[in-house]
Amino acid sequence: MNIFEEVKGAKTIGISGHIRPDGDCVGSVMGLYLYLKKICPKAKIQVMLEQPADIFSCIAGVEEINSDFEPITDCFDVFIALDCEKTRLGEAEKYFDHAGKKINIDHHISNATGCGDVNFVVPTASSASELVYKVLEDKSQIDAEIAKALYIGIIHDTGVFQYSNTAPETLEIAAKLIAYGFDFPKLIDSTFYEKTYVQNQIMGRALLESILFMDGKCIVSMIDKKTMAFYNAAPHDLDGIVNQLRNTKGVECAIFMYETGSLEYKVSLRSNGELDVAKVASFFGGGGHVKAAGVTMQGTFHDIVNNLSAQIAKQL
């Protein structure tokens, strides 16, 4: 895909990504936004996205994100969904549905065919940000701010080049991006590793209360609404907990969940080995990647663990 060819002539362009935007979502959306603003100076381009976490305020243009999700008056000529399929666009889904032309760029295996009129879905790609880099035809238009946004997306989805989705091409693209000369060690620290005191406290609590089961092959932990309220924590304050659980020796599957409503939990799944967690999440209506997936589930904590265990046991 060449993004310029796809948006050529459009007077209005909308860009969005998934609810609870993570680093790849914000990075790919903002990288594409900054690029399109340069190559389509006459078009009205808008990012319609939930407000990203404060750590992403280092990305140029985040203050221009529109999170109001007003009712549609004029349909977008082109609307681009990044890092998800349309049902995870949340309130931005209506803009996608009514757009003159729908474009979907994603790397989730659970979104095999894509949901746009034009699709660029590559499940083997490390991140949507890597795919955005590829569709930017005129590389001479890339600048340090665009490179920074895309680099953030790549480091977040690869766990700083640690996860198995890191391919030689991922590193080649990252090498090209850091050549633009931004302070990448600081970016990695401030957006990926650094935690606030409260975030560390909740992580400590989740680790303390974690439970091993299936002969130590699985680990689960949960944070309820009361605890989140006690720490005044938002969902993004829980980022990283599931990865820490996954680091437990002997564990093949890590499960972390937090309460989102009455008898409703957002579940994160991580695999350390052969287990395909996208399959497990998809069974319950969620999705993701082979080694990292998510789903929202109904029931008590114990019901959910039992239901997940049955699906995990089928594979282990």
Q: Quick check: 222 and 242 in contact, CB under 8 A?
A: no
> With respect to ligand AMP, which residue has the nearer C-beta, 88 or 148?
88
Q: Is 148 in the site for ligand AMP (CB under 6 A)?
A: no
Whichever of 142 and 278 has its CB closer to ligand AMP, that residue is 278
In DSSP terms, 267 is beta-bridged to: 257, 295
The whole-angstrom separation of Cα 218 and Cα 117 is: 40
In this structure, the strands spanning 292-298 and 118-121 are unpaired
**Residue of 36, 155, 254, 293 that binds ligand AMP (CB under 6 A):** 293
SS3 273: coil
Residue sitting closest to Mn ion (CB) = 24
Residues numbered 81 to 100 that lie near ligand AMP (CB under 6 A) are 88
CA dihedral over 246, 16, 93, 48, signed as positive or negative: positive
By the 8 A CB rule, do 155 and 190 touch?
no
Q: How many CB atoms lie within 10 A of CB 16?
A: 31
287 binds ligand AMP (CB under 6 A): yes
CB of 93 to Mn ion, least distance (A): 16
296 or 298: whose CB is closer to ligand AMP?
A: 296
> What does DSSP assign to residue 287?
E
Contact with ligand AMP (CB under 6 A) among 129, 268, 271, 309: 268
- Cα separation, 74 vs 77, whole angstroms: 9
Q: Does 17 bind ligand AMP (CB under 6 A)?
A: no
- DSSP one-letter string for 76-129: -SEEEEESS-GGGGGGGHHHHHH-SEEEEEE--GGGSS-SSSEEEE-TTSS-HH
Identify what 252 binds: ligand AMP, Mn ion, none; CB under 5 to 8 Å per kind.
none
Residue 288 near which of ligand AMP, Mn ion, none (CB within 5-8 Å, type-dependent): ligand AMP
50 part of the interface to Mn ion, by CB under 5 A: no
Interface with Mn ion (CB under 5 A), residue from 15, 25, 30, 34: 25
C-alpha closest to that of 148 among 114, 97, 88, 188: 188
d(CA 235, CA 219): 20
Q: How far is the CB of 296 from ligand AMP (least distance, A)?
A: 6
Which position among 40, 48, 81, 292 is part of the footprint of ligand AMP (CB under 6 A)? 292
Q: Which is nearer to ligand AMP, 14 or 287 (CB)?
A: 287
Q: Examine residue 59 and tell whether it contacts ligand AMP (CB under 6 A).
A: no
Query: Per CB under 5 A, which of residues 109..128 are in contact with Mn ion?
Result: 127-128
**Cβ distance to ligand AMP smaller for residue 32 or 142:** 32
Give the binding site for ligand AMP (CB under 6 A). Answer: 18, 88, 108, 110, 268, 286-289, 292-296
